[in-house]
């Protein structure tokens, strides 16, 4: 392998260590002092130390999906899909800021103790996951912000801003938008799969959230996906990385591969002959950093004439720039985040934030005869279910750990008033059939309320290699409850028990006839360390549920296209025509909200003009509570396939009983645009419908108790 160095004679010494110089000058100075071998040593996630330049080893691989992950103690917030159910970007930014504080504190403590950091101990956080959760079978859907590109963009942007901070010079941590792009299962095929997608679906559904994080939230990094998209491996895609990311969106940060993804070029996708060709293809396309594999072969790629040292320099400039923006080459006193104390980790303030996020994530799906909140006159409660005492269902995947994890059982037991009789029985296993006699079926009819903690577990759904009880390498073959749980719940209800079903999970669950048999249904997701406390607060009425579904719950797999089909036809609330079990945006309350007086400032607008809408939201119930008001737009005269409804805005509103508020919202020309068959955003004239309510437009939502939406129309003219 050729060896070279590009040190320039007469260059001032140590510019890279002098904060008075601009970052590009410092990066170029540092590059000029490296040999080719040293440069190549920086091109994978475990970047090697360069002792003569006083550069310690650094591993870029750290995780922060819903808290600092895989690095010991940390505050565990609700899984991302649960945080999406809060529909509260301001809260999510606070959560991410707390996560960034903990990452900083742990990073600097590791440096002080050991003089270096290891994998998962860094400041380059490979989060958030903003892939579209297009199919409930995907085990990693729990990591996402749901099925809607607008909601995903809003919540993902808030998470990025919180992680990265607001200092004009330094990043608190570096966030990473992943997995770019068109990536949402199947897990077992991800190393070979070719996602075929139309330019219309690509630009209407799969790319908007990435664009928003890049162009508005200024995310520092983007991670490429394992799969191919329209025949090109994502981590070496000219269309995705060169034309779209660097070209159309002018992305200035760095691109990292998913872990082992470059090996898939030759081993899975068969688009190259060996690791050297794979490394060259990825580097030339603008993948700046390889996780784990192939970039140790870049020297051979130079010797073969596939790349040049200038190609390495271009990518290395980008990753080094990130490290400079993190303050890694500056005196600690100059960097505002270096003195964050280790005491922030799982602090009282962060635990309270985790509790607030968990409370606001909980979605009330059913409440027959207002059985919830549990009444004061209740004298006997039976708690059952395999997930009642489970730590796993608090954590989801990509999680941290601490000694303050509150299970559902612990939270409920801590809240039950003295004098109320309460017993616990597991009831049934998570998945395994059981023929044993279960006394809980005898006890339940005598209880005023039976709280059944059932549902999914990270053991059943997750990433390839993580969900050890999944029959499909992390994905779900069925979207119903495990059969043993369904059978048990049916027996429980038919015995005469009044069952409040508390469901855990990271994806939709089809309930079939169980939906009719339950008195109440509460979805708590994978709620994090304060999950038990939050669930108890909702069940006993200390707080009013206000979470809204960030994705559609189908009635069955019969309503879905094949898993491998990436066309959006028939998927999500935007394109599906069949009535779901629970619609996108749905979630009940202990009070009732009315939407009224929807009005436009004009009924006709010229193309390019904005339009103001006004409506009134009233809490007509007897309980102070929060509501998420949602605004949807429908293009009624489009020249091609467009969404039936598109979320264009939402607002979380707190109202006392009987109070009302007037809400004003501006519909911009960009919101009126459609994506044509060529993938271009255009604005056509014609009629549009605006709908506001507490759920996506759905007859099913109203049947289930959601507030009746109100709508009106306007026309765009040339």
Question: Confidence band (pLDDT; 50, 70, 90) for 126?
Answer: very high
Give the lowest-confidence range in 129-143, 317-331, 403-417, 432-446.
432-446
Q: Where are the domains of the chain?
A: 33-344, 354-572, 593-717
Q: Is 258 a catalytic residue?
A: yes
User: Which one of 59, 143, 220, 461 is the catalytic residue?
Assistant: 461
675's enclosing H/E stretch is strand 674-675
**Average confidence (pLDDT) over 441-458:** 97
Question: Confidence band (pLDDT; 50, 70, 90) for 162?
Answer: very high
Main-chain dihedrals φ then ψ at residue 98, nearest 5 degrees: -65, -40
Asked if 667 and 648 touch (Cβ cutoff 8 Å), the reply is yes
Mean of per-residue pLDDT scores for the chain: 96
Q: Is 435 a catalytic residue?
A: no
The secondary structure of 15-57, three-state, reads HHHCCCCCHHHHHHHHHHCCEHHHHHCCCECEECCEHHHCECC
Q: What is the pLDDT of residues 179-213, one digit of tens each?
A: 999 999 999 999 999 999 999 999 999 999 999 99
Residue 577: alpha-carbon gap to chain centroid:
26
- Give yes or no for a cis peptide into 181 (omega within 30° of 0): yes
Helix/strand/coil for 62 = strand
Angle formed at CA 204 by CA 198 and CA 208, multiple of 5 degrees: 120
**Domain 33-344: assigned CATH number:** 3.20.20.300
* Domain 354-572 in CATH 1.10.3720.10: no
Report pLDDT for 13.
Answer: 76
Residue 678's nearest CA partner among 201, 206, 210, 238 is: 201
Q: Could you give the CA distance from residue 606 to residue 473 in angstroms, rounded to a whole number?
A: 52
Residue 152's nearest CA partner among 175, 133, 125 is: 133
Asked if 172 and 164 touch (Cβ cutoff 8 Å), the reply is yes
Query: Is it true that 33-344 and 593-717 share their CATH fold?
Result: no
Asked if 65 and 336 touch (Cβ cutoff 8 Å), the reply is no
What b/e readout covers 8-42, taking b as 16+ CB neighbours within 10 angstroms?
eeeeeeebbeeeebebeebbbbbbebbebebbbbb
Residue 549 neighbours by CB under 8 Å, 6+ apart: 85, 146, 363, 523, 582, 583, 584, 585, 586, 587
CATH topology assigned to domain 593-717:
Immunoglobulin-like (2.60.40)
Q: Could you give the CA distance from residue 665 to residue 38 in angstroms, rounded to a whole number?
A: 54
Report pLDDT for 3.
Answer: 36
Report pLDDT for 2.
Answer: 35
Beta bridge partners of 124: 174
Asked if 504 and 532 touch (Cβ cutoff 8 Å), the reply is no
Q: What is the pLDDT of residues 623-671, one digit of tens each?
A: 999 999 999 999 999 999 999 999 999 999 999 999 999 999 999 999 9
98's enclosing H/E stretch is helix 89-114
User: Which one of 38, 232, 258, 277 is the catalytic residue?
Assistant: 258
Give the lowest-confidence range in 72-86, 354-368, 433-447.
433-447
Q: Could you give the CA distance from residue 134 to residue 148 in angstroms, rounded to a whole number?
A: 9
Residue 257: alpha-carbon gap to chain centroid:
19
Q: What is the DSSP string of 102-143?
A: HHHHHHHHHHHHHSS--TT-SSBB---B------TT-GGGGG
Residue 416's nearest CA partner among 455, 449, 368 is: 449
Question: Confidence band (pLDDT; 50, 70, 90) for 12?
Answer: low
Report pLDDT for 7.
Answer: 44
């Amino acid at each position: 392998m050729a060896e070279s160095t590009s040190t320039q004679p007469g260059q001032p010494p140590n510019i890279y260590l002098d904060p008075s110089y601009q970052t590009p000058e410092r990066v170029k100075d540092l590059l000029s002092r490296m040999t080719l071998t040293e440069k190549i040593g920086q091109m994978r996630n475990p970047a090697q130390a360069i002792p003569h330049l006083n550069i310690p080893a650094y591993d870029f691989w750290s995780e922060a999906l819903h808290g600092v992950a895989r690095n010991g103690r940390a505050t565990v917030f609700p899984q991302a899909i649960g945080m999406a159910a809060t529909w509260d970007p301001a809260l999510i930014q606070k959560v991410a800021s707390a996560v960034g504080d903990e990452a900083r504190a742990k990073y600097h403590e590791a440096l002080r103790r050991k003089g270096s950091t290891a994998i998962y101990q860094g400041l380059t956080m490979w989060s958030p996951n903003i892939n579209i959760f297009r199919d409930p079978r995907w085990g990693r859907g729990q990591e996402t912000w749901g099925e809607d590109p607008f909601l995903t963009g809003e919540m993902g942007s808030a998470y990025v801003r919180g992680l990265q901070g607001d200092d004009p010079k330094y990043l608190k941590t570096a966030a990473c938008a992943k997995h770019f792009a068109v990536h949402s299962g199947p897990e077992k095929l991800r190393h070979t799969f070719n996602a075929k997608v139309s330019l219309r679906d690509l630009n209407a559904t799969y790319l908007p959230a990435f664009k928003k994080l890049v162009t508005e939230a200024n995310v520092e990094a983007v991670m490429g996906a394992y799969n191919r998209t329209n025949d090109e491996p994502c981590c070496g895609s000219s269309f995705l990385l060169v034309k779209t990311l660097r070209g159309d969106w002018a992305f200035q940060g760095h691109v990292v591969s998913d872990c082992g993804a470059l090996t898939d070029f030759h081993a899975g996708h068969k688009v190259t002959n060996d690791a050297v060709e794979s490394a060259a293809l990825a580097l030339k396309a603008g993948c700046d950093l390889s996780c784990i594999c192939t970039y140790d072969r870049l020297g051979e790629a130079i010797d073969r004439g596939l790349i040049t040292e200038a190609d390495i320099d271009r990518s290395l400039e980008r990753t080094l720039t990130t490290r400079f923006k993190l303050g890694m080459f500056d005196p600690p006193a100059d960097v505002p985040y270096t003195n964050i104390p280790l005491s922030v980790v799982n602090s009282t303030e962060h635990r309270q934030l985790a509790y607030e996020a968990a409370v606001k994530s909980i979605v009330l799906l059913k409440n027959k005869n207002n059985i919830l909140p549990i009444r004061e006159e209740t004298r006997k409660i039976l708690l059952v279910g395999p997930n009642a005492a489970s730590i796993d269902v608090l954590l989801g995947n990509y999680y941290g750990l601490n000694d303050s994890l509150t299970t559902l059982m612990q939270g409920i037991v801590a809240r039950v008033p003295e004098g109320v009789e309460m017993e616990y029985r597991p009831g049934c296993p998570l998945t395994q059939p059981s023929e044993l006699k279960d006394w809980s079926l005898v006890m339940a009819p005598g209880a005023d309320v039976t709280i059944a903690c059932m549902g999914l577990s990270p053991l059943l759904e997750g990433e390839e290699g993580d969900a050890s009880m999944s029959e499909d390498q992390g994905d779900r073959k069925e979207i119903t409850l495990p059969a043993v749980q369904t059978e048990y719940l049916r027996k429980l209800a038919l015995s005469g028990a009044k069952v409040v079903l508390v469901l855990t999970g990271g994806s939709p669950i089809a309930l079939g006839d169980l939906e009719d048999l339950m008195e109440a249904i509460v979805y708590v997701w994978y709620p994090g360390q304060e999950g038990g406390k939050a669930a108890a607060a909702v069940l006993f009425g200390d707080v009013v549920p206000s979470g809204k579904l960030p994705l559609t719950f189908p009635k069955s797999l019969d309503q879905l296209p094949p898993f491998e089909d990436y066309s959006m036809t028939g998927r999500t609330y935007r394109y599906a025509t069949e009535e779901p079990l629970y619609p996108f945006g749905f979630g009940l309350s202990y009070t009732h909200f009315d939407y009224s007086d929807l009005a436009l400032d004009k009924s006709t607008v010229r193309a390019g003009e904005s339009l103001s809408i006004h409506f009134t939201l009233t809490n007509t119930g007897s309980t102070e509570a929060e509501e998420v008001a949602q605004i949807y737009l429908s293009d009624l005269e489009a020249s091609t396939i467009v969404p039936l409804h598109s979320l264009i805005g939402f607002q979380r509103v707190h109202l006392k009983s009987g109070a009302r508020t007037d809400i004003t919202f501006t519909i911009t020309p960009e919101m009126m645009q459609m994506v044509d068959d060529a993938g271009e955003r255009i604005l056509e004239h014609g009629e549009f419908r605006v709908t506001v309510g507490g759920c996506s437009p759905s007859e099913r939502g109203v049947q289930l108790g959601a507030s009746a939406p109100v709508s009106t129309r306007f026309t765009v003219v040339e």
